[in-house]
Amino acid sequence: MAAAGALTLLAAGASCSSRSEPPAPGATPPPGTTVASVAPTTLTEASPAASPSLGPTSQATPTPPSASPPPSASPPPPSASPSPASPAPSAGPSPASSAPSARSPLRLQVLLDRAHFSPAEIDGTLGGNTLRALDAFRRERGVRASGPPTEEDWRALEADGAPALADYTLTAEDVKGPFQPRIPQDMMEKAKLEALSYTSPLEALGEKFHASPRLLRALNPGQGFARAGTVVRVPNVHDQAPGKAAKVVVAESDQSVVALDAAGRVLARYPATMGSEHDPLPIGTWKINGVSKEPPFFYNPNLFWDAKGDQSKAKIAPGPNNPVGVVWIDLSKEHYGIHGTPEPSKIGKTESHGCIRLTNWDAAELSRMVSPGIPAILQR
């Protein structure tokens, strides 16, 4: 159920979009909208031999960190919005090998994701989002270390006991579409589409399992993704929200959104894209107004400093490739919100028009943890 505040904000013309820059250290969707989700799925353990390593991670000795404890908050009553794109459950994935030999950037990303310290899009590399997620995981445990994962880090993450990969059987729902093969960049062209759906079953599967399409291809060489009944290897992620947040803290310093429970413990941490020189993050303490699932986007060129002169106001249809993704968490600061994105690979590597952008799956999870009235602290 969408909160009125969220819809009002969107109708006013939320100023959220993005421009790339060098990487830095409930409403019912209209017909034609296809959204995938990490809904409960049945995964089968994958055989160790079949699990690609995608690059081992070097072991490092803990060094004195420069980490400061994360913000604190408490679990909030779930907001009036369902979780993000969540695909229909199916004969799900089965976990892959969790042996020490499988310790790789890919395994690290999956285990951090399962621990609710999101690396954003899982791509099998030890990038900035993954290292920042690992540092946050350490801080929450009071560990003073930095850099690649240590033996102590692996032990803590592997306490989960779950394999990093799983086998998943594609369902008819996964491949039925409708899909929108080409999503135009121009807002006026986007406005002509009936739905901003996924471009392909592969893109939908990537969002369902928090992974880049390129990684899924690497895990399944020569395999197709368009036929129901096909068994594919996927990251062994889940979409179980860790609790109800009492507070949300948005930190510009490490490009993150953190949900805290009432005792100040970190429930979840997500990499984010926020603000820019032209549209800085509105520092201050605001409130969560509500959540809108599958929101349309009301484009208002008057709110964008870089809008083209020939553009006019337009309504962009809902869908995972909508400019604000699958969910909008409305803030009491007019025109601002926390929302999803059509480009998960750019989270933490782009600038926005002031709003706070997460991957669709992270925004969806957060939307289930928050409730109207809890504070949203935006800080440097």
Instruction: Evaluate whether 317 touches 194 at the Cβ level (below 8 Å).
Output: yes
Measure Cα distances from 281 to 142, 292, 303 in Å: 29, 21, 15
Q: What is the mean pLDDT of the chain?
A: 79
Provide the CA 280 distance to its chain's centre, in angstroms: 22
- 89 lies in a domain? no
Q: Which residue, chain included where needed, has tokens 């350490």?
A: 138
Write out pLDDT tens, residues 43-84.
555 544 344 444 433 333 333 333 333 333 333 333 333 333
- 322 lies in a domain? yes
Per the structure, the count of domains in the chain is: 1
**Residue 93: band (very low, low, confident or very high) from pLDDT cuts 50, 70, 90:** low
- 135 lies in a domain? no
Write out pLDDT tens, residues 224-237.
999 999 999 999 99
- 71 lies in a domain? no
**Residue 302: band (very low, low, confident or very high) from pLDDT cuts 50, 70, 90:** low
Q: Report whether pLDDT(174) > 60.
A: yes
CA distance 216 to 209: 9
Q: Which residues of 220-234 are buried (b: 16+ CB within 10 A; e: fewer)?
A: beeeebeeeebebbb
- 315 lies in a domain? yes
Residue 333, domain CATH: 2.40.440.10
Instruction: Evaluate whether 180 touches 195 at the Cβ level (below 8 Å).
Output: yes
Position 43 scores a pLDDT of: 57
Cα dihedral 160→165→166→168 (10° resolution): 130
Q: Are strands 337-339 and 356-357 parallel, antiparallel or unpaired?
A: parallel
Report the share of the chain in percent with pLDDT over 70: 68
Global pTM reads 0.76
Paired tokens of 88: 């229909």
Paired tokens of 304: 């964008």
Q: Which residues of 316-334 are buried (b: 16+ CB within 10 A; e: fewer)?
A: bbbbbbbbbbbbbbbbbbe
- 233 lies in a domain? no
CA distance 307 to 275: 16
Beta bridge partners of 165: 235
Q: Residue 266 belongs to what domain range?
A: 4-28+241-379
- 255 lies in a domain? yes
- 301 lies in a domain? yes
Write out pLDDT tens, residues 338-377.
999 999 999 987 655 568 999 999 999 999 999 999 999 9
CA distance 128 to 133: 8
CA distance 94 to 235: 9
141 vs 300 pLDDT, higher one: 141
**Residue 116: band (very low, low, confident or very high) from pLDDT cuts 50, 70, 90:** very high
**Residue 299: band (very low, low, confident or very high) from pLDDT cuts 50, 70, 90:** confident
SS (H, E, C) the chain: CCCHHHHHHHHHHCCCCEEECCCCCCCCCCCCCCCCCCCCCCCEECCHHHCCCCCCCCCCCCCCCCCCCCCCCCCCCCCCCCCCCCCCCCCCCEECCCCHHHCCHHHHHHHHHHCCECCCCECCCCCHHHHHHHHHHHHHCCCCCCCCCCHHHHHHHHCCCCCCEEEEECCHHHHCCCCCCCCCCCHHHHCCCCCCCCCCHHHHHHHHCCECHHHHHHHCCCCCCCCCCCEEEEECCCCCCCCCCCEEEEECCCCEEEEECCCCCEEEEEECEECCCCCCCCCEEEEEEEEEECCCEEECHHHCCCCCCCCCCEEECCCCCCCCCCEEEEECCCCCEEECCCCHHHCCCEEECCCEECCHHHHHHHHHHCCCCCEEEEEC
